[in-house]
Structure 1
């Protein structure tokens, strides 16, 4: 079983429903409830797990769970780990409808893919060495399935 560990050294405030609303407006869709539970407890942490194995990509680290807090409420260095900052850095290079939630610490992202089903987004890996659809690989059909791949049971 995988375990959450501190990555960023700051003690962050717990995200609020205002934070969730702000992110959902940016995403253009409702974020999965399971994701919101996880980010409220573990934002800024890494999941200590064996890498997730994806076809054609190999083993990939989970990385850092991005911060759900508003960038303006954080230091400049911590703000670079916010969902908004990462979203802005990828929005012009990849298809619309992708929304990052974790950084693999190598410049790549794990993201929700709202394109096919905004009510139940898949999870994709976004490779920074590619652009457009070529940089997007399906990882799991849902956030719950993705977390199960990462060694986190449903009730965790």
Structure 2
């Protein structure tokens, strides 16, 4: 995985294995191993030097990773799902935000073990949930490796 500088907030807390497992159990999914290892040290962090990713005809940025184990934070993964559940397609699980309220997500619709990465556009989701989803890449590691300065 490429080296990226990440900003940790004052309230940073590492995500523990127990917290990750509790979220997986609640959502009835298993996060990819690369993501689980990464989120432990980068829980709720923001990329500093490389944050833009190109896919299809879009250029989007990762604002921050959603946090696990701290429901009081506005970027908590479970709270985020709860806030948008009426517009999210089943088996789409967010893990990061962009600056405009859109989400990078794991897509478990085709595989419970190897979800692909998709981008969820919150504005399109009001009109058509399915059209709000765009394929980005095949894995979390591939997403991180695609990030660049922008």
Give TM-score, length-normalised by structure 2.
0.86
Aligned residues: 143
In structure 1, distance between residues paired with 2:131 and 2:54: 18
Q: 1:147 to 1:50 in 2, by over 3 A?
A: closer
Distance in 1 between the 2:99 and 2:78 partners?
Answer: 16
RMSD: 1.7
Ranges in structure 2 where 5+ consecutive residues have no aligned partner: none
Structure 2 distance, partners of 1:7, 1:108, is 21
Whole-angstrom distance in 1 between the partners of 2:28 and 2:99: 26
**1:89-128 equivalences in 2 (<5 Å):** 89-128=83-122
8 A Cα contact 1:98 1:112, kept in partner: yes
Q: State the distance in 1 between where 2:17 and 2:8 align.
A: 24
1:154: which partner in 2? Answer: none
* Offset of residue 96 of structure 1: 0.2
Instruction: Say if 2:56 is the partner of 1:55.
Output: yes
Aligned partner of 2:45 in structure 1 is 45
Give, in whole Å, the separation in 1 of the partners of 2:147 and 2:132: 21
Which residue does 2:130 correspond to in 1?
A: 133
Deviations 1:1-51 (A, max 9, x none): 652332633232x22222111111233211011101111111121123151
**1:43-100 Cα distance to aligned partner (Å, 9 max, x none):** 12112315101213x21111101111141xxxx4xx2111001111222102100111
